[in-house]
């Protein structure tokens, strides 16, 4: 694969991966408007985010092994089609219960797409290049969440919240065409695994018992929980608490995505000079300190809105250090079952995200403290998870699963 082919592949996979963040970020400015339109409390509409993340988490446990058995494209393409259909259904919902159910189905479709991307990267690139490739994809993905809340605010202003899901369906249709033309199967027939349910359970158990891998996975999972606490709580904090117009919410959200993009570019350079675990540990520490500062500022009122935005941006930016490096370290332990390992990592990650976002809604008290407290707790747990890692994520001997 030459440089131009590699670049185009990464851009294509980045565009496909962006469908997941779009399903979350595009409708964030509309959450208060959806609540008013449906006559539901905002805290109940926040559960639609939890429904998506938990549905996404559970589905990955199924799709990962299927991708290892039948190939990446076989799992990805039905997922894209189902994603289109569920977005159309979401636009037709009239109450929170319906939307919660449809969001679970939408998450199941999105998981079929998302779970295959890191596995494809693991198929195509050696260990040393996996973190760089994942960072490049994550950098491509930053364009979607950067524009999504701002775009979502404008679509909401002129066309209403239902049009947001129609827009997602159109984007998925375009992605389906792009994937059909450009994404080839990356898993050779001879490397595919036939795994029984019992063997699958044993495989997941083996992954969970690998301290070096699970410590890195949990580090990013807890960090991810803190990020979803922000995603869930920020529409209320920015729009309702600080009075930011919904159409301008995306501007504040974009600051965090820009910070994320910068750290991804920095990480691409750092992986050539430092151990992946060293970067991962530094990123998790910075995130934890930032979240604790955020909690202090929200509890005391210090700094007003900038006192929230600055530590939040610092926290979210650290995904550039925790995401690709934790994935690369974990997947390297399971070269024959990257799909299953990635599925378990994704399931834990989105489970934490779902729990954290639900917790923010449950603790809702009309202040920013629930959001900040959950972020701080997740930051601390992220750092603590690395105590499981005794060999800095290095592999002494191959540990194939299946």
Q: Cα separation of 2 and 73, whole Å?
A: 22
Per-residue pLDDT, averaged over 234-239, amounts to: 92
Residue 138's pLDDT band, with cuts at 50, 70 and 90, is low
CB contact set of 278 (below 8 Å; sequence gap of 6+): 392
Q: Which SS3 state, helix, strand or coil, does residue 397 take?
A: coil
Which pLDDT score is estimated for 289? 97
Say whether pLDDT at 131 is over 90.
no
More confident call, 219 vs 347: 219
Q: Cα separation of 58 and 60, whole Å?
A: 6
Q: What is the full DSSP assignment across 291-316? A: HHHHHHHHHHTTTHHHHHHHHHHHHH
Per-residue pLDDT, averaged over 303-323, amounts to: 93
Say whether pLDDT at 396 is over 60.
no
Q: Encoding tokens for residue 383?
A: 């750092």
Which pLDDT score is estimated for 141? 62
Which pLDDT score is estimated for 397? 39
CA 138 → CA 52, 99, 129, 143, 231, distances in Å?
20, 28, 14, 9, 18
Number of H helices, E strands in the chain: 18, 0
Which pLDDT score is estimated for 199? 78
Which pLDDT score is estimated for 300? 94
CB contact set of 92 (below 8 Å; sequence gap of 6+): 162
CB of 46 closer than 8 Å to CB of 360? yes
Residue 92's pLDDT band, with cuts at 50, 70 and 90, is very high
Of the candidate ranges 127-136, 280-289, 323-332, the one whose mean pLDDT is the lowest: 127-136
CB of 309 closer than 8 Å to CB of 252? yes
CB contact set of 399 (below 8 Å; sequence gap of 6+): 206, 210, 333, 334
Of the candidate ranges 19-23, 122-126, 148-152, 329-333, the one whose mean pLDDT is the lowest: 122-126
Which pLDDT score is estimated for 401? 40
pLDDT tens, residue by residue, 32-78: 899 999 999 888 898 898 888 888 888 878 887 788 788 888 898 99
Query: What is the pTM for the complete model shown?
Result: 0.76
> At how many degrees (to 10) do helices 127-141 and 143-159 cross?
20
Q: Encoding tokens for residue 326?
A: 């934790």
pLDDT tens, residue by residue, 316-327: 999 989 988 888
Per-residue pLDDT, averaged over 119-135, amounts to: 74
Of the candidate ranges 132-136, 166-170, 211-215, 234-238, the one whose mean pLDDT is the lowest: 132-136
CB of 64 closer than 8 Å to CB of 90? no
Which pLDDT score is estimated for 164? 94
CATH of domain 3-180+195-388: 1.20.1250.20
Which pLDDT score is estimated for 334? 80
Q: Encoding tokens for residue 103?
A: 């969001």
Per-residue pLDDT, averaged over 138-165, amounts to: 80
């Amino acid at each position: 694969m030459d440089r131009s082919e590699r670049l185009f592949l990464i851009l294509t996979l980045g565009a496909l991966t962006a469908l997941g963040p779009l399903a979350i970020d595009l409708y964030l400015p509309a959450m208060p408007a959806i609540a008013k339109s449906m006559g539901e409390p905002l805290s109940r509409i926040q559960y639609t985010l939890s429904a998506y993340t938990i549905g996404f988490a559970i589905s990955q446990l199924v799709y990962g092994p299927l991708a290892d058995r039948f190939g990446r494209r076989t799992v990805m393409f039905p997922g894209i089609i189902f994603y289109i259909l569920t977005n159309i259904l979401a636009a037709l919902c009239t109450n929170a219960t319906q939307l919660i159910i449809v969001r679970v189905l939408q998450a199941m479709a999105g998981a079929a797409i998302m779970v295959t991307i890191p596995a494809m990267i693991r198929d195509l690139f050696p260990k040393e290049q996996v973190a760089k490739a994942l960072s490049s994809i994550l950098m491509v993905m930053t364009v979607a969440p950067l524009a999504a809340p701002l775009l979502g605010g404008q679509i909401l202003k002129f066309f209403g919240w239902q049009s947001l899901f129609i827009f997602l369906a159109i984007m998925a249709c375009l992605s389906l065409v792009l994937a059909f033309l450009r994404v080839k199967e990356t898993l050779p027939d001879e490397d595919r695994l036939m795994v029984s349910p019992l063997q699958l359970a044993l495989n997941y158990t083996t992954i969970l018992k690998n301290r070096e891998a699970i410590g890195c996975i949990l580090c990013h999972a807890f960090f991810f929980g803190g990020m979803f606490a922000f995603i869930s709580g920020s529409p209320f904090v920015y729009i309702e608490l600080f009075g930011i117009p919904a159409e301008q919410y995306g501007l504040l959200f974009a600051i965090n995505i820009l910070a994320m993009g910068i750290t991804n570019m920095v990480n691409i350079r750092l992986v050539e000079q430092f151990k992946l675990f060293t970067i991962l540990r530094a990123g998790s520490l910075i995130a934890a300190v930032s979240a604790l500062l955020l909690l202090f500022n929200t509890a005391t009122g210090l700094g007003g809105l900038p006192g929230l935005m600055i530590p939040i941006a610092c926290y979210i930016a650290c995904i550039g250090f925790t995401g690709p490096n934790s994935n690369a370290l974990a997947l390297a332990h399971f070269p024959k079952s990257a799909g299953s390992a990635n599925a378990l990592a994704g399931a834990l990650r989105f489970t934490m995200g779902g729990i954290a976002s639900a917790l923010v809604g449950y603790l809702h008290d009309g202040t920013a403290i629930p959001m900040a407290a959950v972020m701080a707790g997740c930051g601390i747990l992220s750092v603590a998870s690395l105590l499981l890692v005794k060999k800095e994520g290095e592999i002494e001997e191959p540990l194939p699963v299946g």
